[in-house]
């Protein structure tokens, strides 16, 4: 690799001599010139970094040895070994720096701008990567533009029916790598919350972990709230009860119901009317006995795969199959009371999933028409779980919403 980076102009001309150079277009010559300029800049920057580290990294006596040690005969094995070790360390540092430069250059060619910013933020804690970025763009390294434009950096992620905080693992990783702060909540009786699902009978009880988190935030702190599927009802509930804590509310293929509606009403087209579902559904759970009203429901695995995960990777489907819990029936059957003064003043955004079989695109369109949000975003090729099937697309939209003034 060192030979490649230190190639001279003469070497470049010799290697491209003959008929091949004649066929080379203007864009190819420009690319070679840019490559050569990059390598020279990289080498220059590496040398500069080394010189600065020599100047400021501790005392000279500690770095190159005392005056007496410099008077030692060159045949002194201790002195020679120490010097060789130093030279090897310097060469390793320079090689690491140049390797980062070339790696970032290659990624710049093959990745879109947004992905490259993500990569830069992933590596920005490394001194060599900061210098490499400065070398490539010939400007001092700074935080990506999208971070500077985001006023609020905390995302609170609310899962949907049967899921838990675990379902956001890809989104959490992407947001953290972008320098943001994701918080995933386990609703009552979900994820690793120890409450019995059969005992959760109201939306207030179901949403309690979310409301408690919002109420315990510092007085002047706000968050961006993201709710998936029936988690949208919890987001609406939070907008009504803690509006001052929520800067923006994002409904991800979620039950963005109107005042007086039940979350279940949104799914009625797929699951049938409430009455029919309660009478005929084979998925109901009678936690208090067969002679008592049902307390929850749980789809069979094959049905779940078809409804929720028709575009999701196999590994994520397997994770969901061993992690999902029964869905408490009470919260999804409860009518929401939403006021224009609180819920109505919240900033709402809706993300549609266009290959969704649990909440069809037509139903999502109806939700948007009945209660228009500030903006609508769409994810092509996503099933009902974009955090599995289209995590990068979802991440991009979350950042875009966060940047909106």
Task: Give yes or no: residues 209 and 342 share one domain.
Answer: yes
Task: Give yes or no: residues 325 and 385 share one domain.
Answer: yes
- Report the chain's mean pLDDT, rounded to a whole number: 76
Extended strands (E) in 119-270? 154-158, 181-185, 223-228, 246-252
Q: Final residue of a domain: which of 119, 142, 165?
A: 142
CATH at 205? 3.40.50.1820
pLDDT at 54: 44
DSSP string for 109-160: HHS-HHHHHHHHHHHTT-HHHHHHHHHHHTS-----HHHHT-S--EEEEE--
Residue 272 domain flag: yes
Which secondary-structure segment (H or E) carries 296? strand 296-297
Domain that holds residue 135: 2-13+27-62+77-142
Strand 348-353 and strand 246-252: the pairing is parallel
pLDDT at 48: 53
pTM, 2 dp: 0.66
The residues, any chain, with a CB within 8 Å of residue 105's CB and separated by 6 or more, are 38, 136
Whether residue 39 lies in the annotated active site: no
Q: How does residue 341 score in pLDDT terms, banded at 50, 70 and 90?
A: very high
Indicate the number of domains in the chain.
2
| Model confidence at 365: pLDDT above 80 | yes
Task: Give yes or no: residues 177 and 201 share one domain.
Answer: yes
Task: Give yes or no: residues 239 and 252 share one domain.
Answer: yes
Per-residue pLDDT, averaged over 306-322, amounts to: 97
Q: How does residue 267 score in pLDDT terms, banded at 50, 70 and 90?
A: confident
Per-residue pLDDT, averaged over 107-134, amounts to: 41
15: tokens are 């290697």
Task: Give yes or no: residues 164 and 230 share one domain.
Answer: yes
| Model confidence at 319: pLDDT above 80 | yes
| Model confidence at 137: pLDDT above 50 | no
In order of 34, 37, 41, 104, 235, the CA distances from 137 in angstroms are 12, 12, 10, 11, 42
Task: Give yes or no: residues 120 and 208 share one domain.
Answer: no
Which secondary-structure segment (H or E) carries 20? helix 19-23
HSE (side-chain half, CA atoms, 13 Å) at 360: 8
Q: CA 76, 82, 83: angle at the middle one, nearest 5?
A: 90
* Cα–Cα nearest to 387, from 319, 326, 328, 297: 319
Q: Which residue in the list 193, 316, 356, 383 is annotated as catalytic?
A: 356
pLDDT at 356: 97
Per-residue pLDDT, averaged over 220-245, amounts to: 98
Q: How does residue 233 score in pLDDT terms, banded at 50, 70 and 90?
A: very high
Task: Give yes or no: residues 131 and 252 share one domain.
Answer: no
pLDDT digits (tens, 9 = 90+) for 41-87: 545 554 554 454 444 343 333 333 333 333 344 444 444 444 444 44
Task: Give yes or no: residues 175 and 299 share one domain.
Answer: yes
- Distance (Å, rounded) from C-alpha 374 to C-alpha 100? 42
| Model confidence at 175: pLDDT above 60 | yes
- Distance (Å, rounded) from C-alpha 371 to C-alpha 268? 18
Whether residue 356 lies in the annotated active site: yes
Per-residue pLDDT, averaged over 262-283, amounts to: 75
Contact 155, 180 (CB under 8 A): yes
Q: Final residue of a domain: which of 142, 162, 196?
A: 142
Phi-psi region of 373 (alpha: psi -120 to 50; beta: other; left: phi over 0): beta
112: tokens are 């879109």
Residue 19 domain flag: no
233: tokens are 């009802």
Which secondary-structure segment (H or E) carries 14? helix 9-15
Q: Which residue in the list 236, 384, 389, 395 is annotated as catalytic?
A: 384
pLDDT at 282: 78
Q: Final residue of a domain: which of 114, 142, 170?
A: 142
Task: Give yes or no: residues 120 and 227 share one domain.
Answer: no
Task: Give yes or no: residues 280 and 336 share one domain.
Answer: yes
Whether residue 229 lies in the annotated active site: yes
* Cα–Cα nearest to 190, from 215, 170, 160: 160
Task: Give yes or no: residues 223 and 304 share one domain.
Answer: yes
Q: Which residue in the list 190, 207, 229, 382 is annotated as catalytic?
A: 229
């Amino acid at each position: 690799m060192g030979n490649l980076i230190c190639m001279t102009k003469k070497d470049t001309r010799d290697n491209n001599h003959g008929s091949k150079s004649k066929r080379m277009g203007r864009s190819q010559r420009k690319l070679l010139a840019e490559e050569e300029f990059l390598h020279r800049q990289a080498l220059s920057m590496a040398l500069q970094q080394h010189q600065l580290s020599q100047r400021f990294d501790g005392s000279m006596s500690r770095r190159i040895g005392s005056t007496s040690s410099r008077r030692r005969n060159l045949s002194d094995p201790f002195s020679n070994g120490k010097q060789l070790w130093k030279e090897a360390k310097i060469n390793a540092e320079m090689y690491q720096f140049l390797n980062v430069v070339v790696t970032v250059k290659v990624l710049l060619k093959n990745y879109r701008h947004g992905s490259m910013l993500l990569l830069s933020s992933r590596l920005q804690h490394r001194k060599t990567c900061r210098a490499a970025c400065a070398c490539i763009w010939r400007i001092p390294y700074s935080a990506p533009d999208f971070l500077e434009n985001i006023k609020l950096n905390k995302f609170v992620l609310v899962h949907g029916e049967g899921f838990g905080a675990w379902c956001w693992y890809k989104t959490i990783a992407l947001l953290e790598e972008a320098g943001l702060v994701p918080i995933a909540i386990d609703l009552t009786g979900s994820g690793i919350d120890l409450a019995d699902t059969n005992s959760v009978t109201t939306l207030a009880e179901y949403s309690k972990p979310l409301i408690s988190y919002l109420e315990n935030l510092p007085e002047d702190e706000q968050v961006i709230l993201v709710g998936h599927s029936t988690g949208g009802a919890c987001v609406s509930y939070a907008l009504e009860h803690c509006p001052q804590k929520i800067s923006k509310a994002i409904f991800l293929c979620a039950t963005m119901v109107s005042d007086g509606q039940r979350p279940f009403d949104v799914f009625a087209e797929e699951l049938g009317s409430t009455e029919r579902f309660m009478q005929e559904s084979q998925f109901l759970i009678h936690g208090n006995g067969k002679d008592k009203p049902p307390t929850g429901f749980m789809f069979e695995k094959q049905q779940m795969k078809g409804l929720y995960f028709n575009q999701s990777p196999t590994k994520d489907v397997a994770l969901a199959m061993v992690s999902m819990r029964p869905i408490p029936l009470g919260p999804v059957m409860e009518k929401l009371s939403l006021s224009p003064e609180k819920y109505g003043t919240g900033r709402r955004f809706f993300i549609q999933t266009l290959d969704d079989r649990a909440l069809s695109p037509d139903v999502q369109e109806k939700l948007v028409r009945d209660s228009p949000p500030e903006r609508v975003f769409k994810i092509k090729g996503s099933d009902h779980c974009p955090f599995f099937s289209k995590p990068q697309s979802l991440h991009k939209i979350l950042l875009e919403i966060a940047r909106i003034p």
